[in-house]
Amino acid sequence: MNLFVVFLLAVLAANFFRAPEKAPELFAVLPARDGHVGAIVVKGAEGPEKVINEAYGTIAINGATQATGTMTAAQVREVFGSTLDALPGSPASFTLYFLEGRDELTPESQAELKNIFAELKRRPLPDIVVTGHTDTIGSLDFNDKLSLQRAQRMRDMLVQMGLPTERIQTAGRGKRELLVPTDDNVSEPRNRRVEISVR
């Protein structure tokens, strides 16, 4: 009787400690680049659905057998290395600032442009959207035009640096989307900007 219990425990232990990557199906949650850990809900043919919501938490399904566990970052790398390397870069966005009432970058932003360009260039086939903004000096109409002019100027600069024009869309939001909320007719450098988003 005791032997039988020991045997049973051994079988349970063997199942428990079995490396999850040996199982025919494996699901794992990974921490995002910003550290955020999400969740997946897995429902096999048998058994209840399981929620996995910790970093490197796994569920392995082998026929009717389901086992939850964890992997190390190195184990994930070993199994999914080339797969993870093929993930396209996450969407990113950058902000550059302009001189008051003009479509000229500030000297600081002009210097920063090189770094942003390098980041855009790194992506094999970037989808870029340049959105221009203004502060609240002037009419709605004036600012709509100025913001679009800033976006188009930005696009021209990126094209001149070597990005294909057909990958860049432009839009002007005028004074409709202030970074720093102000009253009307307020000069605010942080609102005179373009946002460059890339996917």
Partner 1 sequence: MRKALIVAAVLSAVAIPALAADVGLVKVSKGNVQIERNGTKVAAPVGASVQAADVIMTGADGSAGITFTDNSLVSVGPNTVFAIDKYRFDTTTHAGEFEGSLKKGRLAAISGKMVKASPESMKIRTPSAIMGVRGTEFVVQVDEEKK
Binding residues vs partner 1 (CB under 8 A): 21, 23-32, 36, 38-45, 53, 61, 63, 76, 79-80, 82-88, 90-91, 123-125, 127, 199
Residue showing tokens 């770094």: 115
- Are 126 and 167 in contact by the 8 Å Cβ rule? The answer is yes
In terms of CB distance, is 131 or 134 closer to partner 1? 131
Residue showing tokens 């550290």: 35
Residue showing tokens 């390397």: 85
Quote the least distance from Cβ 66 to partner 1, whole Å: 9
Q: Which two tokens stand for residue 174?
A: 């005028």
In terms of CB distance, is 57 or 132 closer to partner 1? 57
Quote the least distance from Cβ 15 to partner 1, whole Å: 17
Quote the least distance from Cβ 89 to partner 1, whole Å: 8
In terms of CB distance, is 124 or 162 closer to partner 1? 124
Quote the least distance from Cβ 112 to partner 1, whole Å: 24
b/e for 96-126, b at 16 or more Cβ within 10 A? bbbeeeebebbeebeebbeebbeebeeeeeb
